[in-house]
Chain A
């Protein structure tokens, strides 16, 4: 889960990394008592989870006199379709130089990967293309609490030495907060020291319980329900609902729909051992997507009991057509139950998807 900027900055502060003086406001009026402490120029940053937030108009600069008015305007905006509910109002930093710092886990070497670049404030992928020599990288040894000092020196290069402790502090954040990504872009030098002008932290979903972190965005009612039943669920925009078991098989079903000229409405992986009640909830959930005209159920596996699945589909009792492909234990019984109620069953993934595309158009 990606933390919002102000949440990420609070963590950095906790670890001794300087962040600009700032205040989180939920209305323009809330800014008034803080105007004097934030300085002559104020940066207003919408707390929405949007990539390219600055370009989308989510970051505005204001003089102290006009800051409340500007904040009010920002609260009325939609940034890439998202309402602005919170704004982080910050002091404007006298920036001398901008750097880039990030830590991720490298899948290939199975080690933490630290990237530091002399060019900050721009997307690292752009720097990688245009000025690859500006990026330095180091793989940290996974079983140590800190990055060895020689590696830190190698990363920082000719950058001011005040940068070095910041790199290791971010590494502690990365390890102790179960981060998949910890990024400061830009990391800036000012006459008052080194500051994290922006911050991005993605916390491992599997570690949210032990980190005591709750989901920071409002789920739709369908997403909440999917979470409650333990389904992996993603909404898309097409007219063919999809229910599968296993992430790979479900993704392959989605791809096959596109291959045959249709568009999937969702991704739903019911997981292993799908018993009738779970299947019923999955079918009802997908049927509630307004765009869904037909649902494909593609379940396969040694321990999936086809009669259970069939009962779940029948119990769901939804108005849309359900087309089923089932393979596993008690296949004949599942087939009998579904055929009796007039459901269409087909033998292969290709056939079931082709039929659904026919029905959807």
Chain B
């Protein structure tokens, strides 16, 4: 598994909001089930002293870190303040920051990512479902009951499509090491390349499913730089040019980032590309 395990103490920013509260409940239910630490502290400015599902809430990240051992965080803060949350956490020294929030203006993300990099923090997302290492930890909003522990890493720009693929893998008896939703925005922290490098270092991961979509060239760049066995799926072969397909980053601009050119590029690297999500288990089975 990568980015965290059952010993990872998680901080949640935006802990007292509807989303934060709901998912602290789910994350900690999972932590209890697998014997992990889970969410140990919450932060919402002005709400210090409250509790959410028994988790103490602080006014600032610094305050929370004085009281708890925290190495990762999950952000549910609304878009207007989410980039500030990323920077506050990077400033406080949190190693791995997962930003769930959608609709953060790209220029805010640009600055927050640059600052996080300066501080030596890594950012997953924004606009992502987070990550899940079955049997170890749940840092985000993925439905953990669909996953099962095993040796396939999953990297995806999507949310529900990832659940679909994980469900198919589990039904086919293929377990997962870590499932990472890297986010649907045009600008994201960890890219396919970064996550693939982590999987290379991970003894449990033997093959990787890469779920991409139209927009940008991050899928090709990542796949070209790894020697791990990879199976890919690219969504958006029917996406018309210059239209945003739900995700801010899912747009074909000029001749760049269309699904066909991505698929051809991946195939030229010798990577099998599934025509349908349901083909993925068969293709990955051949690599294990």
Contact = CB atoms under 8 A, between A and B. Distances in A.
A249 B164 contact: yes
B5 interface: no
Interface in A178-236: 178, 180, 204-207, 210, 232, 234, 236
B160 A110 contact: no
B158 A248 contact: yes
B276 to A, nearest CB: 6
B215 to A, nearest CB: 8
Contact of B240 (A206, A236, A248): A236
B173 interface: no
A205 B276 contact: no
A142 B276 CA distance: 39
A331 to B, nearest CB: 12
B54 to A, nearest CB: 21
Given A247-B250, A349-B278, A300 B187 contact: no
B161 A249 contact: yes
B72 to A, nearest CB: 21
Nearest to A110: B113
A241 B99 CA distance: 33
A302 B221 contact: no
A348 B114 contact: no
Given A105-B187, A247-B247, A300-B164, A210 B213 contact: no
Interface stretch (B32-40, B60-68, B100-108): B100-108
Interface stretch (A35-43, A57-65, A74-82, A256-264): A256-264
A267 B218 CA distance: 24
Contacts of A245: 160
Interface of B: 22, 26, 79-80, 103-107, 110-111, 113-115, 118, 141-143, 145-146, 156-164, 167, 184, 186-187, 191, 211, 213-214, 216-218, 221, 233, 235-240, 242-250, 254-255, 259, 275-278
Q: Which 7 A-B pairs have the closest CB atoms?
A: A248-B158, A247-B246, A302-B143, A246-B160, A248-B161, A232-B246, A142-B114
Given A210-B80, A255-B236, A301-B159, 18 more contacts: A105-B187, A107-B217, A108-B191, A108-B218, A110-B110, A142-B113, A205-B244, A210-B105, A247-B245, A247-B250, A248-B160, A252-B161, A252-B277, A264-B238, A267-B246, A300-B167, A303-B22, A327-B167
